[in-house]
Structure 1
């Protein structure tokens, strides 16, 4: 049972969000496609009644379903269609149906396929497939399958779309539309759901697997697998304030997800869509600590889970001397809003010379660094390049 106030507040807010959310009950989902296309596999929480009919006891906001589609025969039409029909009962007892239709152009040019690929959707599907395999086979088999699929995509691009299809290259050749696929793949391997080793509690791993299987692509991969990190001690003047044109809170420049981005003189915010981490270096100036948390120095900064204070008491302008607190509050609210989910992230304070467990928990989210579960980003790129050069895919 949670006894710390931030965790109690989190549970209360999330419980209220779920009870007040608009949900569909007693739902069935049918998916159809043009001739020549076949639904091969489904990912999410459902009961499979037939190959094109899913039974869904309830449909909640931000719950996604992924589908593997296979091409059974040659596609001769310029456009193919996908249609989903969701029959459900609303919270008010009304029986309704919602139909969505998607038209996609076809092509016989493999270059067009690669240069219009959606790397976020691909990475999300590969992660869901890996988690689904991990539930019925070995975790290591799922990790190898995930890497193999990413390698197949990159290898196919080199073979079909580059002049050096059979020769060795010094750099990994990959289209602009898939430039983040290696990083997204590595982040999935380091995610709690697929992280190797025995240091991940089973309950946390299963909860993470459920997130990966059910979250939409833009939430399940970014930022839940690939976090966002910002430096707070040197924020631009415009960060944390509304943009004059869009009215949205301006976010500071993102930092690389590596320990090299951290410094003993800085304060950093890492947000992964589910939690926020405030990292304090051991030599942060007292002025920054005062402007951010209204404490005298870094030694008096509370460690662990906290309720991030609003020193301006909800005002539209910052209180004198607490401009940094105002900016960071606005940044955290904008990041939470970007996730569009029913959960309420909490904030953890992690000090450079503080609790080892908290430091390890945060460092595991620095997906560009090497750890016990996977290599660094640069090492991973080199491994992919070597395997593609050898044709080992």
Structure 2
């Protein structure tokens, strides 16, 4: 165990001090900070800039005498002027976004003149259209009201969902957000650790260092140390990203919902167990890839193939959320490569059966142990695999060596 921890410490510190790691770790928060800054500047400019035709009043000059007085609620928005000259004076003083001029023959011609540089928005057009309808139907106010408000909606909540509707927003959102958080942490840890593992193992293979190391270490100790050390490095990187993201959210005035949540600590602990076992499975698989391939570029192709199974639950996310106890959800929960993410999604949504959780964890732990054993055998045969074209036969000979 002591030698395993020495390997973990060595790999952790060696990669932690690399400029490439420090730059990559700091780059994402800086990009997020710039993005938040640009968004904030854009929102500020949008708030400071006058909205054309939306916040300023609209005037109208009625030569036809057909239009009614505007609704009292719109009297400050729709201003009546007796003639064009007074409307133009208000427009020149910046009091109006523009004004409509209804000619004396409006009823027969239907032509209306808009005077103004701004483009009138939908709100202004609707207000003027309602004014015209009310004027044309002055003797039939009920019909005018029906045309201006053709539909009236009422909201009714089913009795079965009243309790859910009364729950705080955080109580509804957190069980749905937490699986994404754990899943994204798992993805980020796997992807960030993958490059470290591949780089570390392939470098030691290329310069034959691994052969010297294996003379004083057992393959299992070397593999476990690398997985632990570089996995911890990935967690440090992801933790820094999460902390930076939360800090940026607080600085921008947005905070994730936490108050009112009733998510059980047991559920969080279960999700954390799946996270750890999931990382052990994928981490040992990636280490095995590093022992097999000849260089980082070749290994990155295998990494993509290995990560695909972990994405499968997200392809069926809608089904998993709507049917968390369905056949598909249970099947993906028992398959080791999809179990971590699937169970992270299901755990906050349903009461998982004890036998299902136990069987899923048992299969996942057995897979982790098996992948670690396979990877350690490949580490031991690293010299045999060096310089050879990868094939199933070569790998099988290495496992039997």
Whether TM exceeds 0.5 here: the answer is: no
Larger Rg: 2
The interval holding the TM-score normalised by the smaller chain is under 0.3
Higher helix residue share: 2
Q: Which has the higher strand share?
A: 1
Q: TM-score, normalised to structure 1's length?
A: 0.22
Superposition TM-score, scaled by structure 2 size: 0.21
Higher relative contact order (Cα pairs below 8 Å, separated by 6+ residues): 2
